[in-house]
Amino acid sequence: MTSLDWTEKYRPRILSQVAGHNKAIEELRLWAQSWKQGIPGDRAVVLYGRAGTGKTTAAHALANEMGWEVIELNASDQRTAAIIERVAGSASQMSTLGGMRRLVILDEADNIHGNADRGGERAIIGLIKETGQPIILIANELYDMSAGLRGVCKPIQFNAVMSRSMIPVLRKITEAECITCGSAILEKIAGNANGDLRSAINDLQAVAQGRSSIEPDDITTGERDTKESIFKVMAKIFKGVDIIKAHEATFNLDENPEDFIHWVDENLPLEYTQADDLEEGYRNLSRASLFLGRVRRRQNYNMWRYAGVMMTAGIVAARSRRYTGFVKFQSPSLWKKLGQTKGTRSIRDLTAKKIGAYCHVSMSYTRSHLLSFFRMMMKDDKYAPSVAALLTLEPEEIAFLIESKSVTKKVQKIYNDAQSLIEKETEHEIELFGGFGARIQESRVSGEDQEEKPEVEVKKEVKPQRSLFDF
């Protein structure tokens, strides 16, 4: 049995092999067909949905089906304006030697920010507007992309893959690998994957590798820690009736209460149109805001739980009637006005990456468990420079950790002190290295001198040992 990754070995080669996305695949195919008539109105599409649902696989399968050459940039590549214009820009304007089109794929389009991707977003928007070749963007969260970037792309959603769609895929793999496996086992693997087909295949390989059959006792994969979509959580709050489920939905949400309260505030007047419900809703939301204020003043993060209850269960309890009709949830307008969605989250993620790299944990774990701890250390003048030096923090990242709105004199002082510590440490390392080299040279010289001198035998006086403990 080969050790090749099964997600690559059994990756779909054409769109019809992509499981569980009939509607999305049809939309993608129609968009591709429109390029046969010339340059269509939608020059780019964004495939968005949770990880492991087949977005990138579908893009490559489309290129293979259409006979298009692929040019791909992902998060491991720098995506500055210059690089995008040089790599993707030229590719988007010229076809191949055989006259076929090129497909430009930009992965993790919702994660284009920070120093590494400076100017990249503007370059991508300009690229899409001027392209003569098809472009596909890949994203997990559509609304983590800027409004400008969303506005030039046709969105195509990839939902979580249903278990019943995963099972035939897993069955084909077991048959190809000559592995005996019951349907109940495949159902369990698919169920544990929580809509992530890639994870299901990885779990199957982990269990089946080196075996000819799989027994129920071999299944040790646990339930995965899935992240709730912000829009699903909002629906449970504004449309649901269960206050416990509404509150628990936030447990797996990748947003902290400071950000989440803006979502509730923005959508509350859109959902609750009756004055009494709106009044009660804002009363509970204001109480949540009070608790958040106490968290900031007292650094007591236990109060987050009370704020969370008031902004979830409190909003559900404030509704006295059922509201019908569809209301599209809006992202916080405050973020749009102040640019917080891009700026603050960018700095937060860069800071979390540095902390995570030092602590050997993921960025997600850092954001949810470690940021508050490092904020406490950074607010202590005694430890702040040392922490900043240890993590090589930039002034903006220091300001984020001490919750300063801008780079103040205090932030600059911490940064300067940290740089001094780094310079001293560097000088110390150079001194140690230089001293080590000098000692080696000295030992060589002394060794040569010793060779010239005759050896003098020194006899030591041997004293009798009086006991086992007399050395």
| Per-domain boundaries in the chain | 21-157, 163-218, 230-338, 342-411
How many contiguous H segments (helices) and E segments (strands) does the chain have?
A: 22, 7
Q: What is the pLDDT of residue 50?
A: 85
Take residue 209 and report the two structure tokens written for it: 């590798």
Strand partners, 72: 105
Residues 202 and 7: beta-carbon distance below 8 Å: yes
Mark out the alpha helices in 379-408 (DSSP H runs). 384-391, 395-401
Q: What is the dihedral of CA 133, 125, 12, 35, to 10 degrees?
A: -30
Q: What is the pLDDT of residue 280?
A: 94
Q: Which CATH topology does 21-157 take?
A: Rossmann fold (3.40.50)
Where do we find the tokens 């495939």?
A: 47
Give dist(CA 110, CA 142) in Å, integer.
7
Give dist(CA 452, CA 261) in Å, integer.
83
Q: What is the pLDDT of residue 398?
A: 92
Give dist(CA 355, CA 367) in Å, integer.
9
As annotated, the binding site includes 49-56
Q: What is the pLDDT of residue 115?
A: 43
Closest by Cα among 279, 288, 287 to 250: 288
Q: Which helix (H) or strand (E) holds 37?
A: none
3-state DSSP call for residue 379?
coil
Residues 292 and 260: beta-carbon distance below 8 Å: no
Give dist(CA 403, CA 411) in Å, integer.
10
3-state DSSP call for residue 337?
helix
Helix orientation angle between 230-238 and 257-271, rounded to the nearest 10 degrees:
50
Closest by Cα among 99, 53, 41, 95 to 71: 95
Take residue 139 and report the two structure tokens written for it: 């994203």
Using CA of residue 394, residue 397, residue 402, residue 407, what is the dihedral sign? positive
Q: What is the pLDDT of residue 18?
A: 92
Strands 69-73 and 102-106: parallel
Low-confidence ranges of the chain (pLDDT < 70): 1-3, 74-99, 112-120, 220-228, 254, 334-343, 426-471
Q: Which residues contact 371 (CB under 8 A, 6 or more apart)?
A: 348, 351, 352, 355, 401
Q: Which helix (H) or strand (E) holds 244?
A: helix 243-248
Q: What is the pLDDT of residue 235?
A: 87
Strand partners, 44: 135
Q: What is the pLDDT of residue 148?
A: 86
Give dist(CA 424, CA 427) in Å, integer.
5
Full DSSP string of 55-76: HHHHHHHHHHHHT-EEEEE-TT
As annotated, the binding site for ATP includes 49-56
Q: What is the pLDDT of residue 66?
A: 92
